[in-house]
Amino acid sequence: LPPEAIGVITIPEGFTQEQIRARLANPEQGIPDTSGEAVDAAFADPEVRSPILPEGKPLEGTLFPETYGIEEGDTVADIVTRMHEQFESVATEVQLTAKAEQLGYTPYKILIVASMIEREAGIPADMPKVARVIYNRIADGQPIGIDATSCYEEGEIPCSLTTAELEDGTPYDTRAQTGFPPTPISSPGQAALQAALN
């Protein structure tokens, strides 16, 4: 953290964009004197859109989870910009674009996989195993079967959905449908990104 930091804000790995929004606007844990509307305005800035994001998709998955220093005069837009820049830095470090191409997927699809790994794996050691299961099921044309995707859609994290809610036939229902959910379901950390790429 910079020596001039007057506070910190921590965004845990696996947080959704909605959870990040709530954290940034939280009077105790977020940016002082910040409203949800100010966070929304910061999220809407085209400068914080990763080049890997398809048109019309939310920032989900591209606001990097980490502890950020808050300096005197910082606005929520400054912090969101740092989160975006940190994502781009980590994406470069793990060679997201080049390795995604080697795997035959877009970087965005890899980000979706990493977000599922982040929500599904309890510990980093399990992340490569979860990645292997996801890729095997996709290759076999089977449903991915990650319940966390339905939990994300329902806004229930942690999840206590019924079988009917988990198998509701929506685009985020990965029990019955094959293929990827439409967006990432969380903010993956570096370990989840690496598991998705390796």
Residue ranges of the alpha helices (H) in the chain? 17-24, 36-43, 76-93, 96-103, 107-120, 127-139, 148-154, 163-166, 190-197
Angle at 156 between CA 160 and CA 148, to 5 degrees: 75
> Residue 120 pLDDT more than 80?
yes
Instruction: Pick left, alpha or beta for residue 105 (phi over 0 → left; psi -120 to 50 → alpha; otherwise beta).
Output: beta
- This prediction has a pTM of 0.92
| Residue of 33 and 107 predicted with greater confidence | 107
At residue 38, the pLDDT reads: 95
pLDDT > 90? residue 190? yes
Supply the DSSP symbol for 178. Answer: B
Which phi and psi (to 5°) does residue 122 adopt? -70, -35
pLDDT at 163: 64
pLDDT, position 162: 65
pLDDT more than 90, % of the chain: 74
Residue 173 pLDDT greater than 80, yes or no: yes
Tokens (6 digits) for 70: 């808050």
Query: Residue 179: pLDDT above 80?
Result: yes
Count of alpha carbons within 13 angstroms of residue 159, beta-carbon side = 18
Instruction: Please work out, in degrees rounded to the nearest 5, the angle formed at the alpha carbon of residue 130 by the alpha carbons of 124 and 134.
Output: 145
Task: Tell me the pLDDT tens digit for each residue of 62-94.
Answer: 999 999 999 988 999 999 999 999 999 999 999
Orientation of helix 76-93 relative to helix 190-197, angle to 10°: 30
